[in-house]
Amino acid sequence: MGYMDVPATGTPNGRSVVLMHGKNFCGATWEGSIKALSDAGYRVIAPDQIGFCTSSKPDHYQYSFQQLATNTHQLLEKLGIQKATVIGHSTGGMLATRYALMYPQQTEQLGLVNPIGLEDWKALGVPYQSVDQWYQRELKLSADGVRNYERTTYYVGRWKPEYERWVDMLAGLNKGPGHLQVAWNSALIYDMIFTQPVYYEFKDLQVPTLLLIGTSDTTAIGKDVAPPAVKAKIGHYEVLGKQVAKLIPHATLVEFPGLGHAPQMEEPEQFHKALLQGLKAL
């Protein structure tokens, strides 16, 4: 399991933050947040989850959010971190939620950055796709496909040259010598995301939670294969953030009007100011 362990560069505040990346991201895509948090005095741990980026991609692995949370907890134990603020983006938000549910005593605060899983797509009518179907889809992934998806979903039709490196990262993983292994693990992970909702357990969270939501995000797993009536009613983050903030007992909602799925990359200065203020206020 690959990870970065970045010490505080500002005056150390004695606190640690764990950053959990999304499905189409890596620990490295947190680079702006790592710097902002480190400069503010935090020790920052940014792992690549099993199946992603620098970490192993097993031939046979039972992917579950519980297993990934357990892996992360074991990593923190190895690093001597007994309690941490856990921040998850996108799929990492589902993982961070599961982690906080499993390890409430070790979770100081929870941060959710445009997490997916704020609704149960399956229950709302999105058709199930088998692992083999996901695999065939992942084998066809291309840089153009990644760019078009990210432009429309992550950045609300806008594009900056600095986003291109993350397209290259994702497309490169899927075109390298281990691309079949990458595609297979990706398919298993999509199945995990679709079939293991955390939505019904938001009410059980015991830790102070900061929701950071770009309101123009439209992410919804399986939306491209959903019937038009279903597609029309899912992925509305301008509504989902407010709804879930009411479900989580100790939640604070910060919205970024007009921003998409990755506000920390789209408007980093605005985002990190809100993140640091939000964590301090929890």
Domain containing residue 175: CATH number: 3.40.50.1820
Q: In a 3-state reduction of DSSP, which class is residue 19? A: strand
Residue 172, both tokens: 């490169």
Q: Taking the chain, what is the end-to-end CA distance rounded to the nearest angstrom?
A: 31
Report which of 52, 90, 98 is spatially closest to residue 264, judged by C-alpha positions: 90
CA 147, 149, 155, 156 torsion: positive or negative? positive
- Residue pLDDT, tens place only, 183-202: 999 999 999 999 999 999 99
Cβ-count burial of 95 within 10 angstroms (0-12 exposed, 13-18 middle, 19+ buried)?
A: buried
Assign 206 to helix, strand or coil: coil
Q: Is residue 106 a contact partner of residue 82, using CB atoms and an 8 Å limit?
A: yes
Q: Which two tokens stand for residue 26?
A: 């890596």
* Neighbouring C-beta atoms of residue 218, cutoff 10 Å: 17
Nearest Cα to Cα of residue 242 among 211, 278, 196: 211
Q: For residue 56, what pLDDT is reported?
A: 84
Tens-digit pLDDT profile for the chain (282 aa)?
999 999 999 899 999 999 999 988 888 899 999 999 999 999 999 999 988 887 888 878 899 999 999 999 999 999 999 999 999 999 999 999 999 999 999 999 999 999 999 999 999 999 999 999 999 999 998 999 999 999 988 888 999 998 998 898 888 877 777 889 989 999 999 999 999 999 999 999 999 999 999 999 999 999 999 999 999 999 999 999 999 999 999 999 999 999 999 999 999 999 999 999 999 997
Residue 281: CB atoms within 10 Å: 10
Ramachandran category for residue 180: left, alpha or beta (phi over 0 → left; psi -120 to 50 → alpha): alpha
Euclidean distance between CA atoms 27 and 117, whole angstroms:
20
- Residue 78: CB partners within 8 Å, gap ≥ 6? none
What is the number of structural domains in the chain? 1
Domain extent, residue 63, equals 3-281
**Token pair of 137, please?**
């889809």
Q: Residue 75's closest CA among 150, 3, 175?
A: 3
CA–CA gap between residue 190 and residue 184 (Å, rounded): 10
Kindly report, residue by residue over 17-58, the tens digit of the pLDDT: 999 999 888 888 999 999 999 999 999 999 999 888 878 888
Amino acid at position 34, single letter: I
H/E stretch holding 179 reads: helix 179-195
User: Which is it for the CA torsion 217, 167, 91, 4, positive or negative?
Assistant: negative
